[in-house]
Copies of this chain bind each other. A is one copy, B any other.
């Protein structure tokens, strides 16, 4: 018992210090380690396996929409990065530069890609000539580097893993359609597999991606009521195409520029899983994304037949398609329970001599700790049912949290009161001016999260400046 307590004690309670709780669970669940390279972290097996499952699921969904994977170089010559002026302004300050190759000083320095729009444009201008060559619908799984000073596992690191989609279209309409289509792919995936409810909308001009004409976003609300931008999709119009000279001969044989999009989702989303679902005992992984879905824990495993039964159950569940393991180490059951809980494995199956006698096993849910006694012969069906219910309940709980912490502010006083007392998302009317948006941020730290696709109208004037209201906006403090 002392040992079990120690394991849990190592995690700072959420209520005491959410930020420390977060880093504690990331480390104690063995998702990551800090490295000796500034701003870079190590994805350990349990953390990387989550990313592998995310990749597998997203990649399948991408390919169903006609996406092709490619791989472009990790280095970008400075002159190439500078071709699109908004883009270089956005990224140049935060890149790392290679200046020496082999033993020689380079004539032109090369940055490690912070994102690859410029490389994709440079390549696509060589392969697109006619309307028959369009659309080009590419994606790349890779790591990128942005010279961040602070490090928070998954949320803010210099190097991170992501996918970046880059597509090129004949018409503006098609580009816009693809931009929205990919946002919806993200949203469906995050809601269905990660059990995270979202707000979908458009970024303001101030918050949009460097070089884009429109950026769309999915925004999630963490347990501490801060927002997390969880995936973005950008429509570039023909700005990059004009800067890079990507034109094609249309059906009338006239050379016109292409229309481009890009969209990305990163390992940051693992931070969202942790901060939406976790509790004081550790992380909680939705069954649909958990690398290990259930652990079989033998009770009194030295008694005859117990370990054999545990292994038999494991083999049966594997055969039925579950990802399952047996913990047959010489630790105490309580210690094993704590480890399963810290690691967020959705369920454990307890099996001891008495259970064997009664022909049953006990399924314990990680989220509610509910114990479900099930006849051994029905174990596969029961476990599938428990996982389905758990996946649904996790989404529903997060949805209630999102709804309970989304407030409407009719005026500036109410806005500040909510921010002081309740946090969460604040829905309010806004004039549409960047200066006003900046003033709000300066006064109380709230940023525009998005202009939601589904618009409501709470007042006729901007919540801050009193000018005529243009949009309803979600405001919040964000990671």
Task: Please report A residues at the B interface, Cβ cutoff 8 Å.
Answer: 33, 35-38, 40-45, 48-49, 51-52, 68-77, 80, 93-103, 109-110, 112, 119, 122-123, 126-127, 138, 142-143, 145, 147, 159, 161
Contacts and interface: CB of A to CB of B under 8 A. Distances in A.
A42 B70 contact: yes
B73 A159 contact: yes
Contacts of A43: 70-72
Contacts of A44: 70
B102 A99 contact: no
B96 A101 contact: yes
Contacts of A40: 73-75
Given A96-B100, A97-B99, A112 B42 contact: no
15 contacts: A33-B123, A35-B123, A36-B122, A37-B77, A42-B71, A43-B72, A71-B143, A74-B143, A74-B159, A75-B145, A93-B103, A95-B102, A96-B98, A96-B100, A100-B109
A48 B76 contact: no
A119 B33 CA distance: 12
A414 to B, nearest CB: 40
- Scoring A44, A71, A93, A145 by chain B CB atoms within 10 A of each residue's CB, the highest score goes to A71
A118 to B, nearest CB: 10
Contacts of A70: 42-45, 48
Contacts of A74: 40, 74, 112, 143, 145, 159
B110 A37 contact: yes
Nearest to A46: B68
Given A98-B98, A101-B147, 11 more contacts: A36-B80, A36-B122, A37-B110, A38-B101, A40-B73, A42-B123, A48-B69, A74-B74, A74-B143, A97-B99, A97-B100
A73 B122 contact: no
A41 B73 CA distance: 7
A52 B73 contact: no
Contact of A37 (B33, B71, B75): B75
A94 B104 CA distance: 10
The 5 nearest A-B residue pairs measured at CB: A40-B73, A45-B68, A102-B147, A43-B71, A97-B100
A33 B119 CA distance: 12
B97 A37 contact: no
Contacts of A143: 71, 74, 142
